[in-house]
Structures are given as structure tokens and as C-alpha cells.
Structure 1
Amino acid sequence: MQPPDFGIRAEPQLCFGHVRHRRLRPVVNAFEYRAYYVRLPLRSMDADAPRCALFSRNRFNLLSFHDADHGDGTTGLVEWIDALLEKEGVTDADGEIWLQAMPRVLGFVFNPVSFWFCHRASGELRAVLCDVRNTFGERHFYLLDDGFEIPNGGEITARKLFHVSPFFAVEGAYRFRFMRVVRGRKGSLAETTVATIDYEDAEGPALQTSVSGVGAPIRTATAAAAFFKYPLMTFGVIARIHIQALRLWLKRVPFHSKPAPPKQKVTR
């Protein structure tokens, strides 16, 4: 696999790709759908970027990104992530911070998971912060940090502590892998990103999920393609969650009541 070059293009991107989800036990249940998401280089963006007729930051548009949807909702995003990393002992993530999340569509968004990719100035991926949310309005942060760097395509694990689906107990562990591959020549690059999250419990592998896409700079044409090819995508996220829950209930998959959320908001 080609090593990532994190300095090639530090500009906001729209990534078009797929969400995949496959439950292995106690019944097989799989689905896949086309989707898009944004990847934003927070240190490189100015207060108004990206400049696009159909995509805005912190104001209404067909597609938009609002700082208040991330972090603590009030502090500047770079200031917030830097403070969190320092508090958790990560003091050398002084390079670009790429935030990957779904944008608002007509003002609405629900992000089951968003990722903060925290790099060193020399380009290595130092840590990843996973912001996980459930449909009960709760959220939890998993900080993935092995103390040195996360290799491109390398695996890193975290113990499951947060209730997401009522059809899985809060036990076991997640296995994360993140890949970023840049192909082509300067001026004509195609960048592919893949995030996989697999879940296993005491009985072994139980769930395989991934989000993948090919990035392009956010322009009016790419924003229009996203909005019109995938209308009301973020509304569809909520709809699909409930449709799949209904399918599992009809298949008599055991149901787990929601426990109290973990006391710690950030875990490693």
C-alpha cells in the first residue's frame, strides 16, 4: 500500500463512497448504501472556508458544516481538540487535524460516528478521536492512541463502553483500521479513505462496518452532485437505523436495555 502523503492537498473535501454494515450473529443481517461525507483540514481552514455557493460554514445552505455540531459546541474546534489531546497526554499532534463527518443537509445532520485524525507536523497519524453518538442523544469519545503513531492501515483496539445498538450488549471490543491512499499526479489526484470498525465479544467477531469514499475538493459542482444524487441523505441515516432495528426485532434478535452512559466522556 502506498504510504500516505498528508501534505499533498490540505483543502476541504467531499468524499463519495459507501457505508457497509454486516452483522454476523445470531442472525446475518447486512446492508450497504451510497453516501458522502466531508473531510476538513481544521488548521488550514480560515473562518469562512470552504467558499462554495452551495456549501457553507456556520450558516444555512443546501449543504453546510457547523462548528457547534462538534467538539463541545462552544469552543473553537482546533482549540478544543488541542486541549483534549493535551489533557490525555498527547502533546505531539502538532500537524494537520482532519475532521471527517457528514455535513448538514438542509440544516439537519446525525453523525453516528465522526473522526478527528490528528497528525504530527511531519505527517504521521499520531491519534484518532472517534466521536460516537446514539439515537438517545448521548455521545462518547474513544481516543485511539498507541503512544507513538497509527500506521496507515494498521489496527488499533478499544474496549466497548458506550451503548449504541439495543441489539448488542455493552461488552467486548472494537477493532479500528484507517487507510488513506493518494493516487495520480500532482494536479490530478484521487484520494481514497477507508475507516473500518469491527466489533467482537466473548464469542468472537459479531459485526463488521466500514465507511469509504473518494475525495474531491468542495466546489459548487461537487456540492450539487452530492445534494441531487443523494437527496436528504442525513434524514435517510436516521430512517435506515430504525428500519434495520425493525428488521432485527422481526428476526427475534435479543434486545438489550440501555444502561447508564459511562461516567468518563473520553476513554482510551
Structure 2
Amino acid sequence: MSPHPSATAYLTRVRHQRTSPLKHGFSYPGISYLVDLDKLGSSEHPPELPWWASVFTRFKASDHLGDPRGSWRDNVTAFAATHGIDLEGGTVRVLTGARSLGYVFNPVSIYWCRDKHGVLSCVIAEVHNTYGERHAYLLRTDDRGRARVGKDFYVSPFNDTDGEYTMSLPEPDDDFAVAITLRRADQRPFATTWTGRRVRGRGDVLKAAVATPLASYLVTTLIHLHGVRLWSRRLPIQPRPHHAPQEAV
């Protein structure tokens, strides 16, 4: 593998823990990639991997924020610009899942955006729900990668848009640990953690990609199955509000 790959693979574990008004939790394994959007360029799969591996590891701009006809990098740059942030000449790295066997579902993708001087300008948390909607939160993290932001997006049918997220989003290295907690005044927190360990070597990356081709299918299935379990325990369904795309590009 190239010493400067466009995408670094991580074997991951995601955990969800609901503590109010019902206690409920589940976890699942997967594979995620830290993608350098400048090195990926216009390719849809990492050039470090053979062409046939794109069946298992493919990235498309249309799976993420912005104009599906534009480039992934340009869409992120345009979104940041709507918040007065200039990413021209800088770098953008995103932690996300890959399209595999024609399908991808990314509950959250995290972007670390640096300006032309190498300074971290912002972090973007792009959240998707199972209704085909997405929302991007632009965050100003502190020196430990922490940020707070109001909840503006309907993700679970059991949670409305009330409350505030506290997030811990340090940049990945050999491993990573992302934590997102939803806090409300009248309830105990709902927490999600996303951890991963880097996969080294071209052969091991290929093995990991081929071994977990159904990761997105697994995530979607588990979300629906656990939703049915919560509904069967009489957890109230919250109405889904209209969500207007806010990327402005």
C-alpha cells in the first residue's frame, strides 16, 4: 500500500445505549475508512486497491452532502463557505463507510477540515436517518475535539428534535474513539460510541473489505429490528417534522 493512501481502513464497533425512558442497548461490528478527499480526487475507490475491490469499497459524492452532480470535495468546501469558512488550499479528511455491493448507509460521517495553513477550521458531523434524509452540523471543536450543538434533525422515531448533543471527535490515528451523547433537561442521556482500530497492509485491508461487505445492510437491519423492539415495549412514536436540506449548495 502507498505510504500516503487516499483511504485508511479501520475495523470498528458501534454501541448505542438508551437510558430513558426505557433502558435498551445494542452494538455491531463494521469497517470504516478515513478518506482524504484531495487524494481520492475524482476516483470512486482508493487507487491503492485493485479495480475489482471497488465492488466492496466505493465512495460516491451523491451519498453525502451537497450537489450529487458535483465532487465530494467541492460540496464540502461549498458547505463550509456558507458558514464563512474558506477551505481552498486546505485538506479535508472524512471518517465514513464505503458503498459495498451497491449499497451504503452511514448513520454519521465526520469531516476534519483544515485551511491552507494546516489549522483545523471546523469539524462537520453529517447525520443520515433511515428515511433518506441527511443533516450536516458544522462544529467548532476545542483542543480535545469536543463540541456542543443543538439537535436539529429527526433521526430516531422515538426522539423528536429537542435537546443538545455533546460530541467528542478527536482525529483518528492508529485508532479512534468518537462519542455522541444526546442530553435533555427531563431525561437521562442517550449515548453512541464509534471506535476503531487501523488495518495495516494492502492484503489485510482487502481481507477486511471482503469480510464485511454487508456492513451497511447489517446496520439498517439492526436499526429497524431494535426499533420494533422498542415499539413493542410501548415507547411512544414521535411525529417526524419536515426537514429542508440545509446545505445551500
What residue number does 1:243 align with?
225
Q: TM-score, normalised by structure 1?
A: 0.81
Decide which moves more: 73-82 or 47-56: 47-56
**Structure in which a larger fraction of residues adopt strand:** 1
Match 1:193 to one of 164, 169, 176: 176
| Counterparts of 2:148 and 2:35, CA distance in 1 | 25
In 2, Cα distance between the equivalents of 1:51 and 1:128?
A: 26
Among residues 147, 166, 169, which one is paired with 1:178 in the alignment? 169
**CA RMSD for the aligned pairs?**
2.3
Give the ranges of 4+ consecutive aligned residues of structure 1 lying more than 6 Å apart after TM superposition.
Answer: none
Contact 2:20–2:187 (Cα < 8 Å) also in 1: no
Q: Which runs of 5+ in 1 are unaligned?
A: 1-7, 183-190
Per-residue deviation at 1:51? 2.9
* Per-residue deviation, 1:181: 5.7
> SS in structure 2 opposite 1:226?
helix
Q: Report the equivalent of 2:135.
A: 140
1:55 counterpart SS class: helix
Q: TM-score, normalised by structure 2?
A: 0.87
Counterparts of 1:2-17 in structure 2, within 5 Å, are 11-17=6-12
2:101 match: 106
User: 1:51 and 2:48 equivalent?
Assistant: yes
Report the alpha carbon displacement of residue 10 of structure 1 after superposing the two structures with TM.
Answer: 5.8
1:69 aligned to 53, 59, 63, which one?
A: 63
Q: CA deviation at 1:88?
A: 1.1
Percent of aligned pairs with the same amino acid: 28
The correspondence of residues 1-268 of structure 1 with structure 2, limited to 5 A, is: 11-48=6-43, 49-53=46-50, 54-56=52-54, 61-71=55-65, 72-91=67-86, 94-145=89-140, 150-180=141-171, 182=173, 191-216=174-199, 219-228=202-211, 230-261=212-243, 263=244, 265-266=246-247
| Aligned length, in residue pairs | 242
Compute the displacement of 1:102 (Å): 0.8
Distance of aligned partners of 1:234 and 1:108 in 2 relative to their CA distance in 1, 3 Å threshold = same
Q: 2:56 corresponds to which letter in structure 1?
A: L
Verify the 8 A CA contact 1:14 1:218 in the aligned structure 2: no
Deviations 1:103-134, CA, capped at 9 Å, x for gaps: 11111111111122112344443211122111
Q: Deviations over 1:172-215 (max 9, x none)?
A: 11111112364xxxxxxxx1122211001121442000111122
Q: Structure 2: where are the runs of 5+ without partners?
A: none
